[in-house]
Structure 1
């Protein structure tokens, strides 16, 4: 059961709050509609329930507020707006990534695709889906964790009658298994047709809380929908018979061939049409609203039996109402939209791998970097006078960073930047929840990608130089360990700078800009600070450290240690270390602190 008590949004300047002391409940086994005009506070009320909006009040999901539920996605499924996913990601990859976030088997993704009826679209890109298919993907994401409660914001908006029928059947099936469903709508007919209970709000305040039958009886007007090629003639007939029988009947012409008759029934209208020989194409009882666009003969009409045509009972928009639940036998992980403010994926390494390789971005970036590096290396070799290390790295003196470092920084910046642009863990475009496990996974995988790009670049440049110049520019190095450590440190440092900067500034562009700022801004400052010779040399540091350690490493490791320290002592290395320390502190202050607002 969902119980929302005293929900009040943060007051606005010179205006009342969007939601003001709203109390409602959604009972298990029932579908509840939250009805209100656009701007009445329906979406804000849902966000207050999910602790995504500052304000007062409390919402209990089976007796517990959301921030005290260990795994909220297994308690609440949410659909807020469109699918928050990268348009280039496939439907299956999106759901598999969410499975890793929820800590459930990846096979649940395929199961839920079958449940919502889009198993054949598993390899379609999210950006190529229609609105109806997007809504199905969102529902599959919301149902992954087999939640008890469903919260949906305008789920039927923009859908065709057929898609709305399928949607409401799915919600009815969830409720029939003991779940609670709460959805918002601005269509009174949809609320009366699809819900068991209707909660009406206006200006953020509770207006009425009624059973759907009572709501339809008191708030909506029953009518008879008639389609006929002789609408004017039938309206005249019904008006004359109503005046003769002294009955209060209102006839509204909604289009050239459709009439809405209020105060009568199908039997009376059908008999009148039969007696006067009027052809009728449709005759159906509907639950209408308070009026229609244009009116004609308003009269008092009477009429008779089902003579003329199709008297199938339909709902308000002219389509037959169907009920029935889906097969929910294998629902799995947690929804894309519900996450605790301090939570993250339960399986961060698998989640991050699926996120990175869910699109072609890493492969395309690596290929582009390799191509640019090969061309740059060939140009540098032809010009001559370039050290072999810079030649293999394709790093001209004029560039602040080599292409491989920029590529590593870009992939690192996308680690959090892509999540802010296409959030998978955030509830509706909010802050991406982060914790140390997720940060460790992003740092580890970005470092591995950086090393792979670096190895690919060096191998590609060496092969191209050997092929074009017959190994002329290349010589066997006397020592390769220190340059290799320097190269790896540069790439990993750029990748980590991109990860941390994108997490702090919430943008991939800002993350890449921070990577470029290290050699452009920080390195000159470090150079000025390190000008002049050191008064105390560090010779013999390796043996002294080996003597202090508990584990005795071989003397050959001294060269690696000294090489790493020498790299850190260089301006670029020092600038990277300082930048990473600052970014890590900023990330800790902005990303890992508590965000619970209640």
Structure 2
């Protein structure tokens, strides 16, 4: 069951709230439609339920607010807009990545692709899918964690009648299994056809909370659609005969002037009247018209009747008997599954652990060609720069192997590692795959550790490949004389690794704080451009004491005695931090970590 209590959105610039004290329930085992015209506050209400917008009120999902649910993907499946994924990622890759995020087996992706009819399109990119296929993939993403509640915003908008019927069949099947379904719509006929309960809102407030039978009786009015070349004369004849017979009949002339909508009469009565007066009739059919959002509630402002579609059926296929005309019960979603068979529930839920975030991050990183392209560009640029630097013979060998001329603030390897780190968070905020439509990426410690570990591994791999590519290029162009091993190779390796890993982490943390890839790249460039000059301009006072012997003193304080070879690593790390670039990078990472923790804690505060 879903319970929304007192939802009220924040005011903006003195305007009234888009959602004002909204309270309703969506029970389990039933499809609930949230009906309202554009601008009535439907989408804002869903975002308040999912805690994506600031405001007041609370929403309980089976008795718990969403921020108290340990694994939201197991409780709520969401469809807001298009598929929240990178357009060049494949449909199967997108679902498998979400499987790792939700902690479900990877085989669940193939099960959902089969369910939504995309089994043969699993290797197709998301950006090439049609609207109908896009909605199918989005529905599969929402159902991936086997959630109890489905929340969908205008799921059938823009779909054909067949696609919309299939989608609502899946929703009915989910409700028939005991789940809760809530979807928004602006079409009252779609609500009457596809829901068992309808909540009508206007200006962010509930104006009607009804079962589908009462809704159809009070909101949808049966009528007769008439098309005639003498529509005006026929309207006068029908009105005159209705007054003579003391019957309540309403005749509305449509914009085309050749079409009438007659309420309170029947096809037989209008046909007989046209025959008696010799008026030709080109169309005569029963339809269902919209009586307006406030019909039957004593509130003025009824909407104009909907012209509908001829043929005895509305655009969505609602006949008078199905939608309810006051003479019998209205159609309700079937209690059994009417759509495709849903995949079986997930029986065993794996324990929470660090493997899922790592698996997710690996699939996110290598699911597109961006990672490979950046690494190839960095390798090619580094090899070319190394060959050019070695020509004059004055550039030190470490700079030649790292492809770091004095004109560049950072070598290509460090820039590439920083860009990959920035994409680790910045790309997800553009295409929030992990949240699956709930907005931004959640700030989980396990996810952050996984991203730091994976980005560090990729940065180290890129650093090693750059050195090897530079050495191979030098050997090819100038022979084996330039490829000798430097005497201080250990300290150089530590500093080179620290530079690439530090740039990757700086880009990652900055993108996570500011939620954009450009902020991560700017943070990486700010280290040599802004931080290093500041560090170099710091006043340097003469020191009276030295930190020589620090590794030995640390060994005495530690509980566990590490090997003496570890002292070399500690001294190498100290030299890296003492370097101006190392000091600037350390300061930048410290500030970014504090900013990341601050934004994470602030996002978890509940008023």
TM-score bracket, normalised by the shorter chain, equals 0.7 to 0.9
Distance verdict in 2 for CA 1:586–1:20, change over 3 Å: same
**Residues 100 and 348 in structure 1, CA contact (< 8 A), matched pair in contact too:** yes
CA contact (8 A) 1:225 1:286 kept: no
Moved more, 87-96 or 560-569: 560-569
Partner of 1:439 in structure 2?
448
Equivalent residue, structure 2, for 1:304: none
State the partner residue of 2:493.
484
Aligned-partner SS, 2:104: coil
Other-structure match for 2:341: 327
Closer, same or farther in 2 for the Cα pair 1:429/1:25, shift >3 Å? closer
Match of 2:471 in 1: 462
Mapping 1:462-541, distance limit 5 Å: 462-529=471-538, 531=540, 534-541=543-550
Instruction: Find the aligned partners of 1:415 and 1:576 in 2 and give their Cα distance.
Output: 19
CA distance 1:541–1:272, change in 2 (3 Å): same
Tell me if structure 1 keeps the 8 A contact 2:239–2:251.
Answer: no
Unmatched segments (≥5 aa) in structure 2: 292-302, 323-332
Q: 1:60 to 1:466 in 2, by over 3 A?
A: same
Residue in 1 aligned with 2:168?
168
What is residue 286 of structure 1 aligned with on the other side? 288
| Secondary structure at 1:44 match in 2 | helix
> Matches of 1:69 and 1:550 in 2, distance apart?
39
Within 2, Cα distance between the matches of 1:79 and 1:397?
A: 51
| Structure with bigger RCO (C-alpha 8 Å, 6+ apart) | 1
Q: Contact between 1:103 and 1:345, CA under 8 Å: does it hold in 2?
A: no
What is the DSSP-based 3-state SS (H/G/I as helix, E as strand, rest coil) of the residue aligned with 1:512?
helix
Contact 1:286 1:316 in 2 (8 A): no
Aligned with 1:519: secondary structure? Answer: helix
Aligned to 1:301: none
Match of 1:24, SS? strand
Instruction: Return the TM-score normalized by structure 1.
Output: 0.86
Alpha-carbon displacement from aligned partner over 1:477-515 (angstroms, at most 9, x marks no partner):
223211111111111111111111111222211111111
The CA deviation at 1:561 is: 3.0
* Aligned mates of 2:603, 2:172 — CA distance in 1: 37
Q: Secondary structure at the match of 1:325?
A: coil
Q: Is the 8 A contact 2:552 2:567 kept in 1?
A: yes
Q: Contact (CA 8 Å) 1:113, 1:122: kept in 2 or not?
A: yes
**Further displaced range: 319-328 or 161-170:** 319-328
CA contact (8 A) 1:344 1:434 kept: no
Q: Could you state the TM-score of these two structures normalised by the residue count of structure 2?
A: 0.85
CA pair 104-313 structure 1, distance change in 2 beyond 3 A? farther
Cα displacement string for residues 16-58 of structure 1 (whole angstroms, at most 9, x for unaligned residues): 3222222211122222211122222222222222223333323
SS of alignment partner, residue 378 of structure 2: helix
Alignment length (residue pairs): 572
Name the residue aligned to 2:264: 263
**Residues 463 and 268 (structure 1), Cα distance of their counterparts in 2 relative to 1, 3 Å cut:** farther
Within 5 Å, give how 1:47-62 maps onto structure 2.
47-62=47-62
Q: Which residue of 1 aligns with 2:46?
A: 46
List per-residue Cα deviations over 1:89-140 (Å, max 9, x = no partner): 2221221121111111111111112212222222222222222222222211
Structure 1 runs not aligned, ≥5 long: 296-309, 334-342
1:106 to 1:280, Cα distance in 2 relative to 1, 3 A: farther
Going from structure 1 to structure 2, the CA distance change for 1:395 and 1:270 (only over 3 Å counts) comes to farther
SS of residue in 2 equivalent to 1:232? coil
C-alpha separation in 1, matches of 2:241 and 2:603 = 74
In structure 2, C-alpha distance between the alignment counterparts of 1:414 and 1:595, rounded to whole Å: 24
Q: Distance in 2 between matches of 1:64 and 1:36?
A: 27
**Deviation at 1:536?**
2.6
Q: Is the 8 A contact 2:261 2:307 kept in 1?
A: no
User: Closer, same or farther in 2 for the Cα pair 1:580/1:467, shift >3 Å?
Assistant: same
Q: What is the CA distance between 1:318 and its match in structure 2? A: 5.2
Q: How does 1:188-587 map to 2 (within 5 A)?
A: 188-225=188-225, 231-232=228-229, 248=249, 250=251, 252=253, 260-265=261-266, 283=285, 285-289=287-291, 291=304, 314-317=313-316, 324-330=338-344, 347-426=356-435, 428=437, 430-529=439-538, 531=540, 534-546=543-555, 549=558, 553-587=562-596
Q: Structure 1 residues 552-561 or 151-160, which shifts more? A: 552-561
Q: State how far apart, in whole Å, the 2-side matches of 1:525 and 1:5 are.
A: 53
